[in-house]
Amino acid sequence: MQRVIVIGAGIAGAAVFFALARRGADVTLVDDGAAGQATAASAGIIQPWSSSATGAYVDLYMAGAAYYPELLSQLAAAGITRTDYRRSGGLIVHRDPAELDAAEALLEDRRAEHGEAMGRVERIGGARARELFPPLAEGLDALLVEGGGRVDGRTLCDALIAAGRALGGTVRGGAAALRGDTEVVVDGETLSADAVVVATGAWTHALFTGLGLDIPVQPQRGQITHLRVEGVDTAAWPSVFPLSHHYLVAFDHGRVAVGATRESEAGFDARVTAQGQLEVLRDALSVAPGLADATVIETRVGLRPLADGGTPVVGAVPGMPGLFVATGYGAGGLTMGPLLGDLLARSVLGESIRMLDATAPRPASGI
Ligand SMILES: Cc1cc2nc3c(=O)[nH]c(=O)nc-3n(C[C@H](O)[C@H](O)[C@H](O)COP(=O)(O)OP(=O)(O)OC[C@H]3O[C@@H](n4cnc5c(N)ncnc54)[C@H](O)[C@@H]3O)c2cc1C
């Protein structure tokens, strides 16, 4: 049986942990509980088809969304049924119908390959949009993407870890450092394995520095505020995309997450700031003024792992047999993390995975 250590228990590491445990590996997951885990702050939107991104990133983003039904059946087979995933639809809104024409054209272009996961796309107009998401402003045009989904990042990550444990995996706390390609030191104790997977999100660069290697990943701070609409069942409300980087995502029991900031200069500072708070609330109320009286529950802060060039870095580290990395998921890790975790687990176990050609760590990128 192959022994594998996975460092980092966000969505990237949890997905690899589950996929390895499912295939019978002897796998240990290590996490240091640092403030600013991206997964715990994520909005949970699974709606990649209207993304303006291009290239390998968007291909993985769309493939990741299409993988969700398979993931849910794998979790159910391991006895875990709660993920808080729901295909509640994605509502793209804008005051200028021409902007929606462009979004509709992009979705139509992607339909041939991704139509099944995307579902029906319908120009429903502002009045119908306000029936589906009542706090919306008047005067908006709207496009509904029926296959759009949302998932609670915390619940999903816990589900993957619980399923991995149920299949024999081990979880332990502590800060891990790499020692060579198949040894890890956790709080002074040395653990060895046949393979090590580094899935430490925005912190990945620091782990490799000790080996004299460079993984080009930077933190990007995201602040996201959770509101509660009192006495309203919001479970079936669609997510709202005003064709900019901000959005509104509804969950059960009146909870609506609005955000998020994209701050590249904040380093590892995981605080809620006055400017961040102002920005997310101003953006949210500009498109959904009906939320003005909602209760502010909390603001979460996560550090997205942003890879230089934008494409995730997933695969075997050149020149280091047994050492693998899974990071750089940027703003799309909840969507693509489960699929990439499964592909990487197969690669760790010796399969050759063509889809990982685009993400392989390359000496040219500094590794
Ligand atoms: C505000 C916000 C909104 C988002 N919304 C969405 C969305 O709607 N849809 C979507 O698809 N994606 C979204 N994302 C992106 C997504 O959350 C990230 O891409 C993803 O969570 C990254 O996962 P990760 O496991 O790589 O990193 P993380 O979740 O940050 O996990 C890394 C883990 O490694 C641990 N670690 C670090 N160093 C060590 C060490 N030395 N030893 C042990 N453990 C260590 C950390 O403590 C952490 O737990 C959002 C992100 C943010 C911040």
3-state secondary structure string across the chain: CCEEEEECCCHHHHHHHHHHHHCCCEEEEEECCCCCCHHHHCCCEECCCCCCCCHHHHHHHHHHHHCHHHHHHHHHHCCCCCCCCECCCEEEEECCHHHHHHHHHHHHHHHHHHHHHHCCEEECHHHHHHHHCCCCCCCCEEEEECCCEECCHHHHHHHHHHHHHHCCCEEEECCEEEECCCEEEECCEEEECCEEEECCHHHHHHHHHCCCCCCCEEEEEEEEEEEECCCCCCCCCCEEECCCCCEEEECCCCEEEEECCCECCCCCCCCCCHHHHHHHHHHHHHHCHHHCCCEEEEEEEEEEEEECCCCCEEEECCCCCCEEEEECCHHHHHHHHHHHHHHHHHHHCCCCCHHHHHHCCCHHHCC
Which class is domain 87-148+218-305? alpha beta
CA-202 nearest atom, ligand 1: 30
Q: How far apart are CA 154 and CA 334, in angstroms?
A: 10
Predicted TM-score (pTM) of the model is: 0.97
Which class is domain 3-43+153-217+308-365? alpha beta
* CATH topology match: 3-43+153-217+308-365 vs 87-148+218-305: no
Q: Can you give the pLDDT at residue 365?
A: 44
Q: Can you give the pLDDT at residue 363?
A: 58
The residue type at 27: V
Q: How far apart are CA 38 and CA 268, in angstroms?
A: 11
- How far are the Cα atoms of 86, 129, 136, 145, 157 from residue 230, in angstroms, in the given order? 21, 20, 16, 27, 27
Q: Can you give the pLDDT at residue 213?
A: 86
- Decide: 39 in ligand 1 pocket, CB within 6 A: yes
Residue 107 CA to ligand 1 center (angstroms) comes to: 28
- Decide: 302 in ligand 1 pocket, CB within 6 A: yes
Spatial neighbors of 38 by CB under 8 A, at least 6 apart, are 10, 11, 201, 202, 222, 302, 303, 304, 305, 333
In the block, tokens 């800060």 appear at 175
Q: Can you give the pLDDT at residue 180?
A: 87
Residue 106 CA to ligand 1 center (angstroms) comes to: 28
- Decide: 338 in ligand 1 pocket, CB within 6 A: no
Q: How far apart are CA 283 and CA 269, in angstroms?
A: 23
Residue 103 CA to ligand 1 center (angstroms) comes to: 28
| Closest C-alpha to ligand 1, atom 4 | 42
Low-confidence ranges of the chain (pLDDT < 50): 364-367
- Decide: 242 in ligand 1 pocket, CB within 6 A: no
Instruction: Break the chain into its structural domains and give their ranges.
Output: 3-43+153-217+308-365, 87-148+218-305
CA-333 nearest atom, ligand 1: 19
260 preceded by cis ω (within 30°)? yes
Token pair in block for residue 358:
């685009």
Q: Residue 313: left (phi > 0), alpha (psi -120 to 50), or beta? A: beta
- Decide: 304 in ligand 1 pocket, CB within 6 A: yes
In the block, tokens 């997964």 appear at 39
Pocket residue to mutate for ligand 1, from 5, 18, 29, 39, most atoms within 8 A of Cβ? 39
The residue type at 78: A
Residue 304 CA to ligand 1 center (angstroms) comes to: 6
